[in-house]
Amino acid sequence: MRVQPIARHFAVACLAMLMCVHALPAFAARLAVNGSFQRTLKVTGAVNLDVTTGSGSVEVRRGNSNEVRVNARIHANEWFFGNAEERVRRIEQNPPIEQNGNTIHIGRISDPELRRNISISYELEVPADTELRSHTGSGNQTVDGIKGPLDVSSGSGGLKITNLGDRVRADAGSGDIDIDHVKGNVRAKSGSGSIHGSDIAGGFEADTGSGRITLEQTAPGAVNVQTGSGGMELNGVHGSLEAKAGSGTIRAQGDPSGAWTVRSGSGSIRLRLPQNAAFDLDAHTGSGSISVAHPVTVQGAVNRKEVHGKVRGGGVPVEVQTGSGTIDIE
């Protein structure tokens, strides 16, 4: 006789619980707090700038020659009864900016409680003559139009670098790295992500755990590139080359004025060299064939899977090797 009332009470309790669950996202949304701050810092001459943020993006572009403009966006999340709004207001009132002449530090927050669940993204306008070091724990970064040198890193996020007048060092734990128009040596590393370099007037070093590597080199410099899994497209190489792929096709074009070593665990390799190039060739494939469109004076027996010889009397060493795949030297 008491089954129906019990069932009704149970249904009411379930409905109440369901309404609470549906209400949680709205309640959580009310706990998100946003803020911002802006500053203009006067400078004279070359600027030495250091930027850091635990979570948030960083954008740096060229501006006026006598000032650094800072535009920051703050975002905080707090569950239930927190103090997110208080912490945001504290940062607004006392922004993490330190200036000593032309040396500027942005983003350093020593109080761990103040950093908790806080994301700060920065948009900066700086003089062209700026040396920059920038780091974010998670977030994309873009840098454009400064002289450098540049050291930029992200634990998680993509990096885009354009129009730099000096060396570049870029490091991403996970994320693609795009570098364009750099007058200096480039060193780029990504745990997982592709690395693209175009109009690089200097040496180029790139390493990725998984991802594709592309390069267009416009001035002499050593090239050293490596990927665990992914292909390579290397153009305009003028100097030494060391290219290694755990798996993936490698294509390289240029003038071997220094030693070339090109190896793939599994993947085809194609090299395009000048018609008058002179070099010592050592080519080997585990399973595949070798094609050479240059006159080779072969040393030893002729073998479809192995070629040792001199091209036009010999010169710098060119070593090509793949575990499985064809080798074409044009």
Contact 63, 125 (CB under 8 A): yes
What letter represents residue 137's amino acid? G
| pLDDT of the residue at 23 | 45
- In DSSP terms, 216 is beta-bridged to 235
Longest CA–CA separation in the chain, Å: 106
| pLDDT of the residue at 129 | 98
Neighbouring C-beta atoms of residue 292, cutoff 10 Å: 18
Query: Which residues, 6 or more positions from 273, have their beta carbon under 8 angstroms from its beta carbon?
Result: 253, 254, 255, 256, 279, 294, 318, 329, 330
Cα R_g (the chain), whole angstroms: 28
Contact 207, 225 (CB under 8 A): yes
The pLDDT tens digits for 68-100 are 999 999 999 876 556 888 889 999 999 999 999
| pLDDT of the residue at 195 | 98
| pLDDT of the residue at 1 | 41
Query: Which residues, 6 or more positions from 244, have their beta carbon under 8 angstroms from its beta carbon?
Result: 225, 226, 227, 263, 264
Query: Which residues, 6 or more positions from 116, have their beta carbon under 8 angstroms from its beta carbon?
Result: 87
Q: What angle do CA 160, 134, 178 make, to 5 degrees?
A: 15
Low-confidence ranges of the chain (pLDDT < 50): 1-3, 10-12, 14-16, 18-30
What letter represents residue 230's amino acid? G
The pLDDT tens digits for 170-208 are 999 999 999 999 999 999 999 999 999 999 999 999 999
| pLDDT of the residue at 80 | 56
| pLDDT of the residue at 309 | 92
Neighbouring C-beta atoms of residue 326, cutoff 10 Å: 16
| pLDDT of the residue at 32 | 84
The rounded distance, in Å, linking the Cα atoms of 152 and 172 is 9
| Backbone region of residue 252 per phi and psi (left: phi > 0; alpha: psi in -120 to 50; beta: other values) | beta
Contact 209, 245 (CB under 8 A): no
The rounded distance, in Å, linking the Cα atoms of 306 and 293 is 15
| pLDDT of the residue at 27 | 43
| pLDDT of the residue at 196 | 98
Q: Are strands 67-76 and 177-182 parallel, antiparallel or unpaired?
A: unpaired
First to last CA, the chain: 93
Cis peptide before 149 (omega within 30 of 0): yes
